[in-house]
Amino acid sequence: MSFSIAQIIFVICSMTTIVAFTMEEIYWGKIGAFGMYWFGFICIALMILTASEIFMSVLKHVVNIQLSTTILYTVFIINVVSIFGFFGYGILTAQNIVITQYNVAIDKNSSIPSLKIVMFSDLHLGYVNGVAHVEKIVERMNTIESDIIIIVGDLFDGNYNSVGKPEVIRDTLQKFKSNYGTYMVFGNHDAGNSFGDMKDFLESSDVIILSEESVIINDTIVLIGRKDLSPIGNQGSVERKDFDVLLPEEYNHLPIIVMDHQPAKINEYEKADLVLAGHTHQGQIFPFSLLTKVLYDLDYGYKKNDRDTQVIVSSGVGTWGPPLRLGTVSEIVEIDVTFKNE
């Protein structure tokens, strides 16, 4: 059996994707990064070619149009241009970070008139999202005069060993500027065999981790951090508790803000004033955004429920798997919170 050069190249390229996903104990560097981009290219190609095949079948069997050589050649050209066009556009969209702003009014008194939260989620540090992306995030966030910085999970991509130059990233994260510090909850990908390394990295980066814990920020707000609902692998021995256990009764009069990576349980937070989540990526690539709309009550954006709990779900600042975005954005979230203060 003989193989063509194209088949050999395809197999070699596909192997880079396989090793990037499966051989976690080795840092693959540019090979791993290429594997992720190749995975993205294949995903786009499959979507375009599937749509093209459906279109051709409709022409042939429904409209009864004879597929001439001219039509076939035209469709081929359109497919090639579409694959490379959407692939390039998806990469650029993923790398372009936008700032999304929300205004939230909480009907409780506080010792301060307002609070500016700057939040991001789902960075997925790894072969693609590395030093340059983190530097861009920190630079953009530091242009906002924030009171508190919140990271709503999935800083990592399930494998600490895929992070290049972690000491540079650590030093960059330490440059965050805010009045009350940087707080984080773990996401489902902040887990696995290298979870201990992830935790040590965060602790040395001046990031305060809240896992089934609550803290009082400057006698101003109650901030509660939840353990992820379904971590992929080891995430320590902390068990997810009933939400009421985490509420300090003597501070119930203060505004209560909850960080929970996945927005799957937002209806249980009737005693919270603001819930911050990520995880969904808003589908990341259309048409998966249609799927996340079905799976979650809120897969992206802002919602106020019947009990006046307000929820914000971010689409994330990075990517998982294919390093592309189509129909969604990579975002930093700026939240201006005001209080009643009567």
DSSP 130-146: -HHHHHHHHHHHTTS-B
Q: Helix (H, G, I), strand (E, B), or coil: what is residue 81?
A: helix
Residue predicted with more confidence, 17 or 133: 133
**Lowest mean pLDDT segment, chosen from 116-120, 276-280, 287-291, 305-309:** 305-309
Residue 342 pLDDT: 64
Q: Rounded distance, CA 315 to CA 277, Å? A: 9
Cis, bond preceding 323 (omega within 30 deg of 0): no
CB 323, CB 308: distance < 8 Å:
no
Cα 283 from Cα 87, distance rounded (Å): 16
pTM of the predicted structure, to 2 decimals: 0.91
Helix or strand or coil: residue 309? coil
For the chain, what are the domain ranges? 5-93, 99-339
Q: Is the pLDDT of residue 164 over 70?
A: yes
Residue that is written with structure tokens 């359109």 in the block: 78
Inform me whether the pLDDT recorded for 1 exceeds 80.
no
Give kind and range of the element (H or E) at residue 18: helix 5-22
Q: In angstroms, what CA-CA distances link 136 with 34, 95, 104, 141?
A: 21, 10, 26, 9
pLDDT of residue 72: 86
Flag whether pLDDT at 204 surpasses 80.
yes
pLDDT at 77 over 80: yes
Q: How confident is the model at residue 70, as a pLDDT?
A: 86
Contacts of 94 (CB under 8 A, 6+ apart): 318, 319, 323, 324, 325, 330
Largest CA distance in the chain: 82
CA distances (Å), origin 256, targets 66, 85, 309: 65, 45, 10
Q: Which fold has domain 99-339?
A: Purple Acid Phosphatase; chain A, domain 2 (3.60.21)
| Mean pLDDT, residues 221-243 | 91
Q: Is the pLDDT at 163 greater than 90, yes or no?
A: yes
* The predicted structure's pLDDT at residue 2: 65
Q: Which pair of structure tokens corresponds to residue 240?
A: 């997810």
d(CA 120, CA 137): 9
**Residue 223: pLDDT band with limits 50, 70, 90:** very high
Write the pLDDT tens digit of every residue in 27-47: 888 899 999 999 999 999 999
